[in-house]
Amino acid sequence: MGNKFLNTDLFDKAMAFAIAAHHNTERRGKGFPYIIHPMEAVAIVSTLTSDQELLAAAALHDTVEDTDVTIGQIKEEFGEKIASLVASESDSVFEGLDESASWRQRKQAAIDRIAASSYEAKIVAMGDKLSNLRAIYNDYIVIGDKLWDRFHAPGGRDDHEWHYRGLASSLSDLRGTAAFSEFTSLLDKVFGGPRPELIDMADYKESGDGFTATSYSHKDGERMIKLYEPFIPSTEPKRELHVSQVLTRMGINIPKAYRMVTDGKRIGLEFERIKEKKSFARAISQAPEKMEQYVVDFAHMCLDLHKTECDTTVFAPAKERFLKAVAVSEDFDIDQKARITSFISSIPDTTTCLHGDMHIGNAIMAPSGKYWIDLSDFGYGNPLFDLGMFCFVSRGFGGEELMDKLFHISMAQMDQVWNIFLNEYFKDDPDKEAKAGMVMKIAALYAVFFMNRHTVYPGMREYVDEYLLNTITI
């Protein structure tokens, strides 16, 4: 029996066009015709779709970047959609970059373009990028780290690892497909697990000091880093990098996270530097007469976040965090643990996005917009968990000195901030009083959590007793 009829005119035309465009050219350093790479890209794309336009775009994806063919010609021959898909795959097509742009700037622009592109464009991109990564892997197992000398990247292996991990993040909408699984598997085979890159602190100037991390701005004005204090587990930067990449895909407004870094002692992350930014805490400290305006804006930022459905396949429920904290605590007996666990279980479940460390120090404002920062505890659950965190820090357990260090305002000012926030967040909510009472109890859960970290300030245990243990019976 013959094969089933399928009209392949468009794809056949695209293959013939690509063969002619790449005629007599070699795949760099491979010794075989260049067209083999587009053919492999097509084969990869065919595992993701049978759409003839996407297959055609995969065949044509390098014609504009590596031959004399123009986007105009592609559009004339194959139409607007295929031309747009090819343009999205052409690293020679940049907006806002000139010839002086560095290798990383150009690659970051390409990563950002893919991340912002359509699902169909990501399919075409996967064909190209997986084919490239297969070639890297095949060469790597033969010649090892000598491979990186073949490329133009100034940072060698580190630059390529940064690039391909960025591509994995930008293509993560394809998670669950065989192509994406192969891509991430090859990443680990070539580069191992993500590891921090050593940086020269002479290039940085301290710009912010928090309880868990210190921030530094790079001299180029475009980047900043956050280095965690030694008591923070080394897994936290890795988790925050992953979280930041997923949240960008979800549409949460955050500074872009680029890579893990180290100064040789501390580990942290490199981020996009948001220019002319200040935290809501800093803004309030500098203009206390505008406190109400800033707090109202922050409350609406929180409300918007709490209207967003979370990706529950990536993030964990907030309840898990507190159930674990209670289970491992050495500060409470069996009966007390049972009562706290009962309270946690009674909190209604939702799949709402939660910041996890929500307060006025972890949201920033700038001319370019408002952004969430410090996202390593991001998860999902009842929004009251986030309010509980803000309530906890507003109690000022560390006294005036710590309040000034973390939020640049006095305890009395923070009390004002909390009351303004609570009134705005629950504005017109008929259950305001009951929910506010629940928030006070959840704040005690954060005290339990931090007590596990041996971060105990006067009044914390008493707060747990007053607002949690003394109100719960089972």
Catalytic positions, written as ranges: 65-66
| Residue 474, H or E segment | none
Q: 413: which 2 tokens?
A: 């000012």
Distance CA 234, CA 265 (A): 11
Asked if 403 contacts 370 with a C-beta cutoff of 8 angstroms, the reply is: no
Asked if 147 contacts 138 with a C-beta cutoff of 8 angstroms, the reply is: no
Q: 97: which 2 tokens?
A: 């970059």
Going by C-alpha positions, the residue among 103, 190, 191 that lies closest to residue 151 is: 103
Asked if 17 contacts 23 with a C-beta cutoff of 8 angstroms, the reply is: no
**What does the DSSP assignment read for 18-42?**
HHHHTTT-BPTTT-SBTTHHHHHHH
Cα 36 to the center of its chain, rounded Å: 35
- Residues whose CB is less than 8 angstroms from the CB of residue 186 and which lie 6 or more positions away in sequence, other chains included: 130, 133, 134, 136, 137
Distance CA 385, CA 446 (A): 9
